[in-house]
Structure 1
Amino acid sequence: MSSLAEKPVSTGQEDDDVQGEKVTLEHGLNAAERHEDFSGVDEKKTLRKMDIRLIPVLAVLYLLSFLDRGNIGNAKIQGLTRDLHLSTNGYNIAATVFFLTYFAFEIPSNLLLKRFRPSVWLPSIMIAWGACTVCLGVVNDFHSLVVVRICLGITEAGLYPGVAYYLTMWYCTNEMALRQGLFFSAASVAGAFSGLLAYLIVKMNGVGGYAGWRWIFILEGLLTVVVAIAALFLLYDFPETASFLTPEERAWAVHRLKYQGSSRVGRMIAENNKFRWRDVVNAVTDWQLYLGVLMYWGIVCPLYGISLFLPTIIDELGYTAAIAQLLTVPIYITAAALTLVVCYFSDKAAKAGKSRSPYIFFPMCAILIGFIMAIAGSAAGNVPGVVYAGVFIATCGIYPAFPGNITWLSNNLAGSYKRAAGMAFHIGVGNLGGAMASNFYRQVDAPKFLLGHGLEIMFCVIGMIALVALRISYMRINKTRDMAEDDGSDNSDQQLSEMGDRAPTFRYQL
């Protein structure tokens, strides 16, 4: 049941029951803050209940999101550019404009998420982008294609940063990587599903007078709208209102999130949860986010280069369009499995007090090695197996690195609204990398695409340098705070809470 279903038409008895439950919950929360006694709560069982109720639904939402933004790559090799008479750069422009509005609307969407409730906001924007996807199936020229892609960017903008932030309302920092991985692995499944689905849908070529590529957009857009309507009844808002948890479990879930930073500061300090514009300003001016964006570009440029052009790259290796669609499937399935493995060990390291950064750095090494193989095989010519293997390895590095990047930065942003704005800024500016990557693989560079592979290598190296610089900066600040005489004792709990990650008692996760 969703939060909508949690509000039936009231009767007197129901009101008494709801009020009683509210009192019980408030009593549980007050008792929790006074005594921290959660001996009656099975933590593993409660987390499992959260996982079962939240992750599958969120994964499906993101799968469809990634499917609807990337299916233009599948449509391209099935005749989109020919039927719409696109110029040499027409496809690249249509792919690029999506990311411009996607970037612009991410921060506003994240700030509106809590105001309008996740169970209403996320399905609503999903219905809107599903309608835009259907419209892509009936466009008749370049200009209408660009306009609809602009609208698609606006409507999809809130999904990924919204869900990434939404998960921080349910899970603690040392649990985030695996949940982000479970959620984001839907993107790699979408890549596989997109190729397979496109292979099947194009067989409808001519049905209703529509070309096969048009049916890709129409059917996938309609699927999104249907799932969005179902999501209205399946999504939950926050732990304190989750009907599938007992009052004691809700109290435990709220308490542990509120005081999750206490292990770092040595005393019970609640995270600031009040909206202040100052937190938004602090987020967008925070130095760590700019290094994080460079690291993000080192991952997202290869990600979108692969998602938008993988079918084209494989098609240009000499395979038929149908085989090119199918050859994308094993790449994405393997990447999804590796994402879960890497994220599991990242969380395990965090729980043991160890670093998360190696679980981003080494996957980025795989990205670098993969594109070096791709550019070497392309330059040599007539070795499609080497190019395919290189793209395979690169993809297997991209998908584990992406959720690791998001998790690491979100762990080091303290304060609910600063985290919301910071994550939206990080993901929003980071996704401008998608706008750049949309122009890496130009038709004039086919079939070798040396420029595209070379640019992916450049951004990956920049991202790896940013990652190392970020880790060194965190280490230096932590060491300085450890050596300083200021232990936070001169500040009240409220003052330390409002300082967030700038408090002298806060320690950055490495």
Structure 2
Amino acid sequence: MPTVLWSANPTASVPTASAEDLGTSSGDDKKTPQVVVNPADIPPLGVPIDTTRRYFWEKAKPVDLDAIATQPSVYDDPALAVKYRPRADWENIHRFDPLARWTWREEKALVRKIDVRIFIFTCVAFMALEIDRVNLGQAVSDNMLTDLGLTTNDYNLGNTVFLLSFMCAELPSQLVSKWMGPDRWIPMQMVLWSVVAMCQYKLNGRTSFLVTRALLAILQGGFIPDMNLYLSYFYTSAELPIRLSRWWATMTFSIILGAFLAFGILHLDGHNGVEGWRYLFLIEGLITLVVGVSALYFMPPSPTQTSGFPRGKKGWFTEREETIIVNRALRDDPSKGSMHNRQAITPRLLYHALRDYHMWPIYAIGLTFQMSMGPPTQYLTLSLKGLGFTTFQTNLLIIPTYVLSMITLLLGTLFAGWSGRLALNGLIGQFWALPCLIALYCIDTTTANKWVVFALVSILLGYPSNHSVQVGWASRNANTVRTRTVSTAMYNMCCQAGGVIYSNIYRADDAPRYRRGNRTLIGLNVGVIFLYVAVHFYYRWVNARRDKIWNAWTPEEREHYINTTKDEGNKRLDFRFDY
């Protein structure tokens, strides 16, 4: 018997019970042409991927490269295929084809192509962001505070203003990005903040220092969630976390690169009577300007919009490759077709996303998880200078710290992917830092061997950060594009809010040992350990409750729920949280 598989008219919409859930519009079903397919003519699907591994360092199980890679999804069910069809104005709708099949050879080659065409540039852009964010620490190693007549409390205030402004700009930037499209907004952001970064060459006191800190943060805010959203257009949920871990590894690499740049640029100190740190801001801001202009070329709007100015008539992907990118993304997450890339988030949608209390535990982790490591990070160059190292030694000595951090970040992400325990994975970094914090509290760093103190601080700051895992975690647990857009921004806002708090833990009256501050950091560290455990069991409890309800239903009751439910996103009883 022939089966209606999906709506054929890309200009029509399908009235369904889940239309509101996916953000689609309603229409007249009788006017919507349908494609009628004989079930015998439906091509076979690929074997579901077996991701189980005994050890996290093991490679994934080999597959037959010429076997079908297309994974099962809701689009293989005639009833669900219509209900989860992408909205009519989705930018990739012309490549949507539930009958499309492709091999592992094609998919792996295409993912490598996406890595080269898309991912590498996002890493370069992130490096530019990070260099302009952290070069303040290198500037203060060149006596910037003394030259401007500032104190360490002014330095704390500058960090507070930056983080507070960055936090306040996160969500508005996300909303602008959804309205304009990240391919337009991100290049504009980069060009604008590069101009402010170069203007720091003319700093002349406390006021100009604080104003440029605020402007720089406002223009940089939202860049990270904007870029995360952009990458989700091209990668599946299984591919994105490891890309994000590599992305954050490039952030760490940019700090290492920035240290080498600072080592060279700061040697210009005194050239034409200008301090070296002024040249640092000017030259690194100019580098970002070049990257920002380049983003107009390297960031196409979507997988099916790579042709035209300035990328040429042919574009980057063939029609076959576009079909594979679009359909494998939708099979992995049907909600990706629920909003187009130029669709603004309305106040109503924003309100519903913010009141999603199931996301609040991840936001709480974002607020607190790096508090105990934040002050030692901000004071790293000042501490090394205080130990008696020169400006140039200081900028080179931060390199081992960040090399260790990059290695532990990648290993931690691999471990999270193997274990599947995202919350408990965050405990590793907290337990790593705890003995180091206790040692900093107990040791008199003013009389101890400076190399011992350097080693202790380097080990502390080389902890395996769970940040990249948590960004993917927030995105995955959102379960809709609408909530995903806001949840990623909210998570990053919470991280910046945590930075505002920890920027004021080390105070001038507590210098140079900062015993009061270190005691506070120990308490925060222990509190975060309990928070990770609580979040793990919270999501586990929610999943168990849903399993109990779902498993008690008959197949007919489950199908009725899917067809008629008003539940949206992660409120659906057939959704399970990662934890």
TM-score range, shorter chain: 0.7 to 0.9
Which residue of 1 is the match for residue 165 of structure 2?
A: 101
Query: Which residue of 2 is the match for residue 215 of structure 1?
Result: 279
| TM-superposed deviation, 1:380 | 8.6
Q: TM-score, normalised by structure 2?
A: 0.76
2:509 alignment partner AA:
V
Q: Secondary structure at the match of 2:239?
A: helix
Contact 1:298/1:461, CA 8 A, preserved across alignment: no
Q: SS of the counterpart of 1:300?
A: coil
> Cα distance, 1:438 vs. partner?
2.1
Q: State the distance in 1 between where 2:430 and 2:119 align.
A: 26
1:129 aligns with 2:198: no
The structure with the larger Rg is: 2
What is the aligned partner in structure 2 of residue 279 from structure 1?
349
Q: Is residue 2:520 matched to residue 1:451?
A: no
1:333 maps to 2:400: no
Question: How far off its partner does 1:504 sit?
Answer: 0.6
The aligned counterpart of 1:141 is 205
| 1:204-231 alpha-carbon deviations (Å, 9 max, x no partner) | 1122331111111111111111111122
Residues 113-124 of structure 1 mapped to structure 2, 5 A cutoff: 113-124=177-188
Partners of 1:357 and 1:408 within 8 A in 2: no
Counterpart residue number, 2:577 = 508
CA contact (8 A) 2:367 2:498 kept: yes
Q: Is the 8 A contact 1:371 1:457 kept in 2?
A: yes
Q: 1:432 to 1:70 in 2, by over 3 A?
A: same
C-alpha separation in 2, matches of 1:189 and 1:419: 27
Q: Counterpart in 2 of 1:90?
A: 154
Match of 1:62 in 2: 126
**Partner amino acid, structure 2, of 1:325:** N
Of residues 500, 506, 526, the one that matches 1:461 is: 526
Structure 2 alignment gaps of length 5 or more = 1-91, 307-314
Distance 1:340 1:249 in 2: 29
* CA distance in structure 2 between the partners assigned to 1:470 and 1:218 by the alignment: 44
Residue number among 454, 459, 467 corresponding to 1:388 in the alignment: 454
Give distance in 2, aligned partners of 1:293 and 1:386.
36
Match of 1:250? Answer: 322
- Determine which of 432, 435, 440 is the counterpart of 1:369: 435
* Other-structure match for 1:312: 382
2:463 corresponds to which of 397, 405, 420: 397
Matched residues, number: 472
CA contact (8 A) 2:427 2:529 kept: yes
Cross-structure match for 2:96: 29
| Aligned equivalent of 1:21 | none
Residue 8 of structure 1 corresponds to: none
For 2:16, the equivalent position in structure 1 comes to none
> CA offset at residue 494 of structure 1?
8.1
**1:409 partner letter:** A
Cα distance per residue 1:361-415 (max 9 Å; x no partner):
21232233332333333469414344323322222225x3111121222211111
Assess, with a 3 A threshold, how the Cα gap between structure 1 residues 26 and 476 changes in structure 2: closer, same or farther. Answer: closer
Shift of 1:286: 2.4
Q: Could you tell me how far apart the structure 2 residues matched to 1:456 and 1:193 are?
A: 29
Change (3 A) 1:470 1:416: same
Task: Provide the C-alpha distance between the structure 2 equivalents of 1:465 and 1:170, rounded to a whole number of angstroms.
Answer: 36
AA matched with 1:252 = I
Q: In the TM superposition, what whole-angstrom CA distance separates every residue of 1:36-92 from its partner, at most 9, and x where no partner exists?
A: 523486222211111222222111211221221221111112121111112452111
Alpha carbons of structure 1 residues 342 and 159: separation in structure 2 relative to 1, 3 Å: same
From 222, 233, 236, give the equivalent of 1:169. Answer: 233
Give the alignment's Cα RMSD to 1 decimal. 2.6
Distance, in Å, in 2 between the alignment partners of 1:364 and 1:145 is: 34
Moved more, 143-152 or 61-70: 61-70
Give the drift of 1:477: 0.8
Q: Distance in 2 between matches of 1:246 and 1:458?
A: 56
Residues 316-351 of structure 1 deviation map (CA, whole Å, 9 limit, x = unaligned): 2232222122110111122112222322343345xx
**2-structure distance, mates of 1:145, 1:240:** 44
- Equivalent position amino acid for 1:258 in 2: L
1:418 aligns to 2:483 (yes or no): yes
Q: What's the TM-score, normalizing by structure 1?
A: 0.85
Cα pair distance change 1:385/1:455, threshold 3 Å: farther
Match of 2:507 in 1: 442
* Counterpart-to-counterpart distance in 2, 1:90 and 1:128: 25
Counterpart code for 2:316: F
Match of 1:50 among 114, 138, 141: 114
User: Which amino acid is the alignment partner of residue 426 of structure 1?
Assistant: Y
- For 1:494 and 1:173, locate their aligned partners in 2 and report how far apart those are by CA, in whole Å: 27
Cα distance in 1 for partners of 2:182, 2:426 equals 29
- Alpha-carbon distance in structure 2 between the residues aligned to 1:504 and 1:63: 40
Q: Specify the SS of the correspondent of 1:86.
A: coil
SS of aligned partner of 1:423: helix
Amino acid in the other structure paired with 1:235: M
